[in-house]
Structure 1
Amino acid sequence: MHISRLILPASDVANSAAYFRDVLELPTAGNSIQVGWSEIQLIPAAEGAPHGVHLAFNIPFARFDMAVAWLEGRTLLQKEPGGEACFALEGDWQSRSIYFDGPDNAVLELIGRRRLIHPADKRPFSGADLSCLSEVGVPSDDVEGMVAEAAWTFGVGTVGPASSSFAAIGNDEGMLIAVDPNRPWFPQKRQRPGANGLEIWVTDVKSPGTVSDAKHGWKVRAR
């Protein structure tokens, strides 16, 4: 699954665009940010910007250590209480991640996934290494029901088993992170999920359709 486009409400579109341009070195044209095959389109928030949005960006697994050094020079990393800032997951994930704050109290992540193969490259790390928007968090009061709805509508499964409070719907190239709205985001666990006003377009699924959540204000469309 690919996340091709995200509409993201912002409290200050210009400041949010400047963040993606200046901190993450992403190509920006007006309110549009390009992340590899993904586009983030910022819009003015009509009813207050959603706080606690979670977005993850894929990076080459072999360049993870370079990514850490690059990002540490540009912004503060989120850390666990013990001081750890880099997180490795084995099993179903096979990944390494770092987290940091984004505009409107967002929780952003750079993630290297071992199963995705990238050409060897020794050039300095830059925003050009962010290959796509690979995760968007979507709070749901019924995570298991959302997993079933996504499977029925789009024909997609999960990465690893789903629980009543967490599920990664999709694959390494694109995931909807369905979470209980009272489950704060890892690693600092100080931001609860928010997604009001988010519209997400996905491609490379088995069938077109729409999944939405009126209570939490998000919508996913496949075409």
Structure 2
Amino acid sequence: MSIQLDHTIVRARDKYASARFLAAILDLPVGEEFGPFVPLHLANGVTLDYMTVDQPQPQHYAFLVDEDEFDAAFARIRDQGLAYYAEPGGGRPGHINHRWGGRGVYFDDPDHHAMELLTRAP
């Protein structure tokens, strides 16, 4: 068997609100709650399992999307009036990047997790 990432826990102050936030940006359904988790299923079989905690520590999550998905998600980011950046850590606010011949953008979720959309990976 090859080694694959199956799921990861995303710690949030409100698992429902955080899962809905990212689901709305990525145009994905929020899965049914199970145990302490609210899942968001990605196309490659990986699940983001949102869990409520008192003090989440910000992490980074990057999502490889196609050009049409990028356009749609980026439009939703702008429509919601979210701050976005071309570089990690908030560099080049209000811009996107063009790394590896594609496009990329960073934005924060409600718990200050750095979310990234990119159309090409290195």
For normalisation by structure 1, the TM-score amounts to: 0.42
- SS of the residue 1:72 aligns to: helix
Q: Which blocks of at least 5 consecutive residues in structure 1 are unaligned? A: 114-171, 174-223
- SS of the residue 1:104 aligns to: coil
Q: By percentage of residues, which structure has more strand?
A: 1
- SS of the residue 1:28 aligns to: coil
- SS of the residue 1:86 aligns to: coil
Residue 12 of structure 2 corresponds to residue 10 of structure 1: yes
Equivalent runs, 1:36-75 vs 2, <5 Å: 36-37=43-44, 38-45=46-53, 48-51=55-58, 53-61=59-67, 64-75=70-81
Aligned with 1:88 (options 82, 86, 98): 98
Q: By percentage of residues, which structure has more helix?
A: 2
Paired residue type of 2:66: P
Q: Does structure 2 conserve the Cα–Cα contact (< 8 Å) formed by 1:17 and 1:28?
A: yes
Aligned with 1:19 (options 21, 35, 40): 21
* Residue 15 (structure 1) shift: 1.7
Could you list the per-position Cα deviations for residues 155-198 of structure 1 after superposition, in whole angstroms to 9, with x for gaps in the alignment? xxxxxxxxxxxxxxxxx49xxxxxxxxxxxxxxxxxxxxxxxxx
Aligned match of 1:109: 116
Paired residue type of 1:49: P
Aligned match of 1:206: none
Whole-angstrom CA distance in 1 between matches of 2:77 and 2:111: 19
Paired residue type of 1:89: R
For normalisation by structure 2, the TM-score amounts to: 0.70
* Residue 106 (structure 1) shift: 1.0
After superposition, the Cα gap between the structure-2 partners of 1:58 and 1:82, relative to the gap in structure 1 and judged at 3 Å, is: closer
Identity, % of aligned pairs? Answer: 23
Q: Which blocks of at least 5 consecutive residues in structure 2 are unaligned? A: none
Whole-angstrom CA distance in 1 between matches of 2:10 and 2:69: 28
Whole-angstrom CA distance in 2 between matches of 1:62 and 1:19: 20
Give RMSD over aligned pairs: 2.8
